[in-house]
Amino acid sequence: MKYVFLAAALIMLASCKHRPSNGYTLTGDLQGIKDGKLILAYQTDSGLPVMDTLNVQAGHFTFSDTVSQPIFAQVVTMDKSNGFPVFLEAGDISAKGNLDSASVITSGTPNNDALSALMHQEKPLIDQMKSFQGGYQAAKMANDTVKLAAMQLQYQGLGDQMDTLMVRFIGAHPAALVSAMMLKDMAPSLDPQQLALMYKALDPSVKQSEFGKSLSDEVNTFNKVSVGEIAPDFTEDDVHGKPVSLSSFRGKYVLLDFWASWCGPCRRENPNVVKAYNTFRGKNFTILSVSLDQDKGSWLKAIKEDGLAWNHVSDLKYWDNAAAKLYGVQAIPANFLLDTSGRIIARNLRGDDLQKELGEVLK
């Protein structure tokens, strides 16, 4: 544990000491917290978890250390009920705000200034999203399907606004590590070409960071499964324990579908997938579903309950499913439409879009 001494004289002495070029000092001036302790949690360069202790007196704390490169960290209460993000990097970092209302802003160094700018820009949209929660739950309890549908459309609209905000922010802050973090989060929903262009525009210093290297791996994965590419082959066991390869379906149009029995959105989309299968299975079309389940019983039960009368495979490894990792799947449902040569011709088709695309392809 690293302890912080808060006596005024010691703070003054500490401010006069020589600080290493890679040293930082994090100073907090917070409301909504009593005297006590906070936890500064992060991972080292080697991936080891670290939890340092911050001693708080009258809302104030100060903490100094060194880092070899900027590190993303979280300051949280002992019970982890509240907290705020911060980049640990060379310089004087200030954290100010109300811990209870999640309004703490960090500033004083380049990456923390960028993080602060992002939080300021996204706050109005986040506040609107939070305001939906109460009304949505009330409509759900009342089984008001009309209001629920309207609210879902409104919420989706806010989500689209958030995506637009993120894209603009990343473009305006190419040298900020938070841009790489946001781009990594957005990657599954972006067109691979757009993702590649946005990654290319990042500053070299960001690309060389741990965040940037991780993002680079993701960009490469998505490029391999973008429209126009031959779908990577894989083999997993079917419901009877027999190995099935994606390449064994060459000569047919295939919807490669990623789902799981525990995934609510997947189960809600399944009737649409069943409709597509029943409509087009006589036109050289089939489906191969890959489940991210862990429990075989739950997987088989969901197949039966939802009437999924096509080929199913899984290695029962949850998010470590080998095929899902090969295709960069980070959210489900997800799908890829393949032509008879195994080339990807569309991806992430849902609802009417799936029916429309199959109707065009399988005329």
Sequential DSSP letters for 80-93: SSSEEEEEE-SEEE
Domain membership of residue 77 as a residue range: 8-107
pLDDT value at position 178?
94
**Digit-coded pLDDT (tens) for 274-300:** 999 999 999 999 999 999 999 999 999
3-state DSSP assignment of residue 213? helix
**Digit-coded pLDDT (tens) for 242-273:** 999 999 999 999 999 999 999 999 999 999 99
Mean pLDDT of 325-338: 93
**Digit-coded pLDDT (tens) for 155-200:** 888 888 998 999 999 999 999 999 999 998 888 778 878 888 999 9
Return d(Cα 93, Cα 106) in angstroms, integer: 7
Q: What is the CATH number of the domain that holds 55?
A: 2.60.40
Q: Please tell me the total count of domains within the chain.
A: 3
The answer to the question of residue 287 being in a domain is: yes
- Do 93 and 136 belong to one domain? no
The answer to the question of residue 12 being in a domain is: yes
- Do 276 and 260 belong to one domain? yes
The answer to the question of residue 3 being in a domain is: no
- The answer to whether 106 touches 112, Cβ cutoff 8 Å, is yes
- Do 202 and 167 belong to one domain? yes
Last residue of a domain, one of 189, 224, 259: 224
**What does the longest C-alpha to C-alpha distance in the chain come to?**
82
Mean pLDDT of 313-317: 97
Last residue of a domain, one of 63, 82, 107: 107
Please determine, for residue 110, whether its predicted confidence score (pLDDT) is greater than 90.
yes
Question: Beta strands 344-347 and 253-259: pairing type?
Answer: unpaired
Last residue of a domain, one of 224, 252, 286: 224
pLDDT value at position 148?
79
